[in-house]
A and B are shown apart, each in its own frame.
Chain A
């Protein structure tokens, strides 16, 4: 885990389209040549656009969330990444290899060894025990029983189900079943895990627990994950970066902080309106330059301010401000003060804007 090259692109999705319908190829051609809209394609060709011109890159070690409401094309998009659905146009490269160029055997190997998948419906085979389910991927790869059971058991222990090996899926709660699904995916030790709304059907408490566990486990194992959800809170909790989809189009890609602070359009803005900023926005986004602070507070000595890091979130900053007798906090990066968080800038952050956007002396 120590030596993860986070710049390495594991999944490279280049201008991918998916059009469903009998006349999909003709519709695709019309889009390419004449740039028809979704509505025109439905009218003229009776075809539905699932994903339209989607580009994204997933780096090694990164958890990439795709957030969208039902019908936004997110489930189609994730299936394009392991070619459960073949794109109408565009390319998907996994570990630098174009999926459309692989033959059946190569594609099977790629799926078996490099890309794990967890489904919303869990899809545990009902006639197999928990252990046999977790070992299924390895069994398919032809690994000997003793070895695959050992690996599957280790995977089940990682998700906290070491005592349930010989039970059947029907005996497990929904949350536990989804853990088995996750164990099955990680047992094959893939670099990439595709998560298709895995926690949507669970109750809120279990869901949050699984979200945290999933994030921790993925980071611990150094895996990359693409995580589909319709819940922005979930995306923010889990994702390093988030893509927001609407009507088959990726509207915005960025960290939770970037999306909340600079929503690309009104749709995204409405979405993020209700999101609590406390843990999202970090000191480096709300601080004011040192010079500005000194101009406003002549005689204020920066050296005696309470100190914090650029990654401290608003919740921490409020705590620090409450403890301190001054109403400003110095933000230090490798020993130098790079900015100051004032009470004013903190309040702006809570509101989801930055101080620069505020009318200067309103």
Chain B
């Protein structure tokens, strides 16, 4: 009896807190919403500007140069198939969402990661917070976001941003901390300033780890963007959600294929970029 009462009180608090935030922060949340949607629409506009074959050719060439001829050809074909399935606008919309959310996640995550790499105390503080973010089911982030920002891409962006950030922080911090001791010693012995030590020694050694973090952030974003179809993200996520509600299995498989194509293309391309970040001979 008493436990139920306690849970009721707790829930009442949470609700009123959210309500208070919604009422008092309305101006702020509207601003965030407008900015996020503006950012997203800008990228979407850019992606929708050229006809589908131009985008397909650009990505195919990127795949060819960074991964290999086979992968380039595969990328081009797979993207043309997406267009032939009639899912091109949705595919580009999803790509725009992922790119927006990931760039925001990196914009915030990379500097925090660098700071955590230098400050073990900050790292110890962040560790449980990141664990929490990564253990909670990703749906959880949709609810408060929808309460504050309403139905639409802005909510999807915020939730995706939250999910995509932890790997960038973790792997950047790890990369910064993993600079081999002898190179730190070299930096001191040769007379580097603190900035030179960071940019010329620590960062190059951290680059592969940071690139892996960026790649992981991107993958997390792809996963979340589909789930965010529920809150009206637009794009393939919403197509799949709609197909599930109407039990249109064929359509959901089409959209799933498009998601897989997009994920694989970006995954392989960023992974190769990570290898380039490592330097050395090809």
Contact = CB atoms under 8 A, between A and B. Distances in A.
Which of under 10, 10 to 19, 20 to 34, or 35 or more describes the interface residues of B? 20 to 34
Nearest to A138: B190
Given A168-B280, A168-B281, A109 B191 contact: yes
Given A82-B189, A137-B190, A125 B280 contact: no
Contacts of A140: 190-193, 196, 200
A136 interface: yes
Contacts of B281: 168, 170-171
B188 interface: yes
Interface string B185-203: 1101111110010001100
B190 A125 contact: no
A117 interface: yes
Contacts of A184: 190
B190 A84 contact: no
Contact of B280 (A137, A141, A170): A170
A82 B190 CA distance: 10
Nearest to B207: A127
Interface string A179-206: 0000010001000001000000000000
A137 B196 CA distance: 11
B62 to A, nearest CB: 22
Nearest to B204: A127
A126 interface: yes
* B contact patch SS: helix
A288 to B, nearest CB: 50
B190 A136 contact: yes
A84 B192 CA distance: 13
A9 to B, nearest CB: 22
A117 B192 CA distance: 13
A112 interface: yes
Interface in A112-151: 112-113, 115, 117, 119, 121, 123, 125-128, 136-137, 139-141
B2 interface: no
B189 A111 contact: yes
B182 A119 contact: yes
B190 A111 contact: yes
B192 to A, nearest CB: 5
Nearest to B191: A112
Interface string A334-358: 0000000000000000000000000
B45 interface: no
A23 interface: no
B177 interface: no
A108 interface: yes
Contacts of A82: 189
B183 interface: yes
B42 interface: no
A123 B280 contact: no
B190 A112 contact: yes
Contact of A123 (B186, B192, B278): B186
B279 interface: yes
B44 to A, nearest CB: 36
Given A123-B182, A125-B183, A125-B201, A108 B278 contact: no
Contacts of B278: 127
Contacts of A109: 191
B185 A108 contact: no
A136 B207 CA distance: 19
Given A127-B279, A168-B280, A168-B281, A111 B188 contact: yes
Given A168-B280, A168-B281, A170-B280, A121 B182 contact: yes
Contacts of A136: 190, 200
Contacts of A108: 191-193
Interface in B260-282: 278-281
Contacts of A123: 180, 182-183, 185-186
B191 A117 contact: no
B191 A119 contact: no
A117 B204 contact: no
Nearest to A141: B191
A59 B163 CA distance: 62
Contacts of B207: 127
Nearest to A113: B191
A75 to B, nearest CB: 11
A109 B193 CA distance: 10
B115 to A, nearest CB: 22
Nearest to A171: B281
B191 A84 contact: no
17 contacts: A84-B188, A108-B191, A108-B192, A108-B193, A111-B191, A117-B189, A119-B185, A121-B182, A123-B186, A126-B279, A126-B280, A127-B204, A136-B190, A139-B200, A140-B191, A168-B279, A188-B190
Given A119-B185, A170-B281, 20 more contacts: A82-B189, A84-B185, A84-B188, A84-B189, A109-B191, A111-B191, A112-B191, A115-B189, A117-B189, A119-B186, A123-B185, A126-B280, A127-B204, A127-B207, A136-B200, A137-B191, A139-B200, A140-B192, A170-B280, A194-B189
Interface of A: 82, 84, 108-113, 115, 117, 119, 121, 123, 125-128, 136-137, 139-141, 168, 170-171, 184, 188, 194
Which 7 pairs across A and B sit closest by C-beta, in order of nearness? A127-B279, A112-B191, A117-B189, A111-B191, A123-B186, A108-B191, A121-B182
